[in-house]
Amino acid sequence: MNYYYPMPPYYPYQNQGYPIPNPNTDTSSDESSYIENILRLNLGKMVSVYMNFENSQWGSKIFKGKLEAAGKDHIILSDPTTNMRYLLLTIYLNYITFDEEINYYYPYQNQQK
């Protein structure tokens, strides 16, 4: 029995100009404005994380707390009033609001064209 499935010739999201970092060779990931890098610049700040759990019992939900950590696929918040910790998957993320000014760095903003 042959379990080989040929790959389709066209992928709609392939090569759309988005950077695909290679952890072995790419040293520019810290220079990009990926959302986890923006969040890492703002660790310790109070945030509201708006998430949507489509087709579930939760629907849309807002998590409020102190930004503890951020990775490529997750955000960790701590709620100082309840001491509850939240590990939130960014796949459900809609947007984030900050209670204060945010730190932001984009290395290409001052380059002349």
User: Each residue of 26-67: pLDDT tens digit?
Assistant: 444 444 558 899 999 999 999 999 999 988 888 899 999 999
User: Token match 């730190």: residue?
Assistant: 103
At the second CATH level, the architecture of 33-98 is: Roll (2.30)
DSSP letters, 1-56, are -----PPPS--TTTTSS-----TTT---GGGS--HHHHHHTTTT-EEEEEEEETTS
Structure tokens at 19: 């950077």
Interatomic CA distance for residues 104 and 41, integer angstroms? 7
- Residue extents of the structural domains in the chain: 33-98
Q: Are 42 and 67 in contact (CB under 8 A)?
A: yes
77: pLDDT strictly greater than 80: yes
